[in-house]
Structure 1
């Protein structure tokens, strides 16, 4: 076995890591959000752009808690799913195509949350194995049809791992992690971390606190 391709790739990996840490996050414009002041949120089942069929239900099972803790009434996801099915809509793509006015008429919610899962599952690379979940979200006012907020978040099982042990050690560790994570659906708890990062209020450029939170309208309604 030759190590030359791996060694040649190391400078490129290092450069990518350095460049990713240089981006400056711009403040989000919350003007429409603050004017809307939604109190109830309808969460549509996430669109799944990953190859893992478990992604939609896994992410959906985690999103209610951070929204509720942020001060919003969240329509029960099982009730929402059943309502769609009773109207002949059985997959997220069809549900996302329903007009905003129709969603408002049926559910009476102030806003709808559209989620897209970009990454979900375990992958194996030369010197790393991880379960990663990436999701995007858009919060749309069902009364004005304005986009109130949008964001993205990622979580990985590789966060905080030690890189000691040399290259051979990294390869062995990657193989072990792949076996463990593939047999235990490690992506499901990672989806919970992603959902919290994406939808918990008080984070930079995240959603605002809702009217049921004691932090509502505190410090510009962005964080405590």
Structure 2
């Protein structure tokens, strides 16, 4: 193997160590506790990436961890349909709606806003680096912010098998059809299941009794 190939292999091994940027430090949850929401409305995502399908991926994965934490989650497809009937098609416009009006429309205790800041796959040397960056913000029905989180996850698939040519082929495949769902699920898991990140809801407590 040439010196250049060895150098590229060493760089690739270093890149494979790329991990997840963890969430911010533990937050003050007093506003959340005072609000004591039981039902949560997840509204259409604000998408700042270039991938038009990214919001659909995020919305398909998000209700599960919130419901498992013990809250009633309004069906996201129904929510999207109702808002579209009112003339609200884009996440940005929905974000501009008064929280009081939005909560009253569905009789929700809290509203979860989600922003996709990054959702891309880029070539790095002879590999492809997949990045997902998501911001979460929850407000009470009167518009008071009661919880927020931010997750950025980076994944570089292991392309060592098959030598240099195999690595180049695998990188091209990953770039053409990156798999974002594992990172999306992991971001949600860190946001809602991380230590002290998101309190258990009333229905989870009832289940334990």
TM-score, normalized by length of structure 1? 0.75
1:194 match:
187
Matches within 5 A, 1:55-74: 55-74=54-73
Larger relative contact order (CA 8 Å, sep ≥ 6): 2
After TM superposition, give the deviation of residue 25 of structure 1 in Å.
5.4
Matches within 5 A, 1:14-93: 26-93=25-92
Counterpart Cα distance in 1 of 2:112 and 2:23? 26
Counterpart Cα distance in 2 of 1:108 and 1:36? 15
2:177 matches 1:177: no
Counterpart Cα distance in 2 of 1:178 and 1:136? 29
2:199 match:
208
- Aligned CA distance change for structure 1 residues 106 and 27 (closer, same or farther; 3 Å): same
Larger CA deviation: 94-103 vs 73-82 = 94-103
Counterpart Cα distance in 1 of 2:30 and 2:146? 8
Counterpart Cα distance in 2 of 1:38 and 1:128? 44
- Aligned CA distance change for structure 1 residues 170 and 133 (closer, same or farther; 3 Å): farther
Q: Gaps spanning 5+ residues in structure 1: where?
A: 217-224
SS at match of 1:27: coil
After TM superposition, give the deviation of residue 186 of structure 1 in Å.
0.8
Q: Gaps spanning 5+ residues in structure 2: where?
A: none
1:146 match:
144
Cα deviations across residues 166-185 of structure 1 (Å, max 9, x unaligned)?
xxx578525413414523x4
Aligned length: 201
TM-score, normalized by length of structure 2? 0.80
Counterpart Cα distance in 1 of 2:23 and 2:113? 26
SS at match of 1:214: helix
SS at match of 1:113: strand
RMSD between aligned residues:
3.5
Matches within 5 A, 1:88-103: 88-103=87-102
Contact 1:122 1:178 in 2 (8 A): no
1:118 match:
117
Cα deviations across residues 23-69 of structure 1 (Å, max 9, x unaligned)?
99533111111111111100011111111111111101100000000
Contact 1:55 1:120 in 2 (8 A): yes
SS at match of 1:114: strand
